[in-house]
Amino acid sequence: MSAAPRTNFPNGMLAGQTAIITGAAQGIGAETAAILAHEGCKVVIADIDAGKAEKTAQAIISEGGSAIAVGGDITNNESIDKLIQQTVEFSNGKIHIIINNAGYAWDDPVEKIGDKQWEQDTIIALHNTAPFKLVRAAAPYFMVKDGEPRSIVNISSTSGIHGNAGQASYALAKAGLVGLTKTLAQEWGPEYGVRANTVAFGAIKTRLTQAPAEESFVIRADGTKHAVGFHGGYDEEEKWVGDIPLRRIGSPTDAGRAILAVVSPLFSYVTGQRSSLGSQNSGSNNRKVSGGRGGM
C-alpha cells in the first residue's frame, strides 16, 4: 500500500469554485458563505432581504473573500433567472455548488394550517419548488464534462426525518428534499459526476429558534413580514439538550462547517446521502406548536 498523500490545499479546499447559497443574508447561510469564501470559493449571497445580503457580501469581501449579493425572492421565476445570470457573470460562466438553504417554518397543528400557509408562495414553494427550479435553471452549468467538481446540498431538518408536532408543512417539505437529493444524485452522477447530498439540522441557534427580537421576521414574497423565533427557544439551551448526543445546541459555525465538509474534496465520493446534525434518534422533537412562530 502506498503512503497516503497529506491533504494540502494551499489556496483553500474550494479554490476556483463558485457557489450559490440561498438564504445567505444571515444565520446558517451567511456563516456557510463566509466559511466557503475562506476556502477560496467565490460566493453568491442570494436572499429576499437584499439589504442584509449586501452587508453580508461586503463583510466577506472585507475579510479578503470574493462575494456578490443577489436580492430576490427565490420562489419567483424571474429571481431565479436573475440569480443564475448574475452568478455566471461573476464567475466567468461556471457554477460548481448550489446550497438550497433559504427557509423558515410556519407552524400550526394540521387542522389549523391554511392553504396559503401550506403552499402557494410559502412553505412548500420555498423548500421544494424553489430548490427544484433553481437546480433546473442551473442544469446547463452542472451537466458538463470539464473535469471540475460539482455539488448540490439541500438543507433539510430533523423535522423532515422524524416529524415534529405542529410542523406538518415544514416536515413534509424538508422530507421532500431528501427525495430530490437522491434523484439528482442518480440523474447527474453517472455521466457528469455531480454529487448531491442533504444536510439535516436538528438544533442550530439562529433567529428562527430563539426568542423573537426586533429583527425576527422573514420577508414574504408579497412584502409582508412573517414573525419567526419563539419564546422558550434555544436561548434557553438547558431545556433542549437532553436528547442531543453532544448535549449542546449547535452554532451557525457548526452548521457551516458540516456543509463545507460535504461540498469539499474530502467528500469527493459521497453522494445521495443525508447527514444529520444534533439529531434526536427517534420520535418527535416534542416542540410545542408555536402559534405561527416557526421553529426549525
Q: Which residues are identified as catalytic?
A: 170
Residue 29 interacts with ligand NAD (CB under 6 A): yes or no = yes
Task: Report in angstroms how near the CB of residue 61 gets to ligand NAD at its nearest.
Answer: 18
Burial bucket for residue 93 (CB in 10 Å: 0-12, 13-18, 19+): exposed
Choose which of 133, 207, 287, 293 interacts with ligand NAD (CB under 6 A).
Answer: 207
Residue 106 interacts with ligand NAD (CB under 6 A): yes or no = no
Choose which of 19, 21, 25, 161 interacts with ligand NAD (CB under 6 A).
Answer: 25
Crossing angle for the helix pair 130-137 and 77-91, nearest 10 degrees? Answer: 40
Q: Which is nearer to ligand NAD, 22 or 181 (CB)?
A: 22
Residue 36 interacts with ligand NAD (CB under 6 A): yes or no = no
Residue 33 interacts with ligand NAD (CB under 6 A): yes or no = no
Q: Which is nearer to ligand NAD, 201 or 230 (CB)?
A: 201
Task: Report in angstroms how near the CB of residue 184 gets to ligand NAD at its nearest.
Answer: 17
Q: Which is nearer to ligand NAD, 39 or 49 (CB)?
A: 49
Calculate ∠ Cα 14-153-101, nearest 5°: 105
Choose which of 90, 142, 188, 201 interacts with ligand NAD (CB under 6 A).
Answer: 201
Distances (CA, A) of 270 to 84, 145, 205, 237: 26, 19, 27, 33
Which grid coordinates are listed for 290? 408555536
Cα–Cα distance for residue pair 188/176, rounded to 1 Å: 18
Window of 6-14, 90-98, 102-110, 281-289 that interacts with ligand NAD by CB under 6 A: 102-110
Task: Give the number of residues in contact with ligand NAD, rule: CB under 6 A.
Answer: 30
DSSP H or E stretch at residue 276: strand 274-277
Residue 171 interacts with ligand NAD (CB under 6 A): yes or no = no
Question: Which residue has its beta carbon closest to ligand NAD?
Answer: 27
Q: Which is nearer to ligand NAD, 122 or 264 (CB)?
A: 122
Q: Which is nearer to ligand NAD, 143 or 213 (CB)?
A: 213
Q: Would you list the DSSP string of 221-249?
A: TTS-EEEB--TTSTTSGGGTGGGSTTSSP
- Give exposure, 113-125, as e/b (b: 16+ Cβ within 10 Å): beeebbbeebbbb
Which among 214, 207, 251, 232 has a CA at the least distance from the CA of 105? 207
Tell me which residues in 59-98 interact with ligand NAD (CB under 6 A). 73-75
- The amino acid that residue 290 corresponds to is S
Q: Would you list the DSSP string of 244-273?
A: STTSSPBPHHHHHHHHHHHHSGGGTT--S-
Residue 23 interacts with ligand NAD (CB under 6 A): yes or no = yes
DSSP H or E stretch at residue 196: strand 195-201
Choose which of 34, 36, 45, 48 interacts with ligand NAD (CB under 6 A).
Answer: 48
Tell me which residues in 233-292 interact with ligand NAD (CB under 6 A). none
Binding site for ligand NAD (CB under 6 A): 22-23, 25-29, 47-49, 73-75, 101-104, 126, 155, 157, 201, 203-204, 206-209, 218, 221, 296
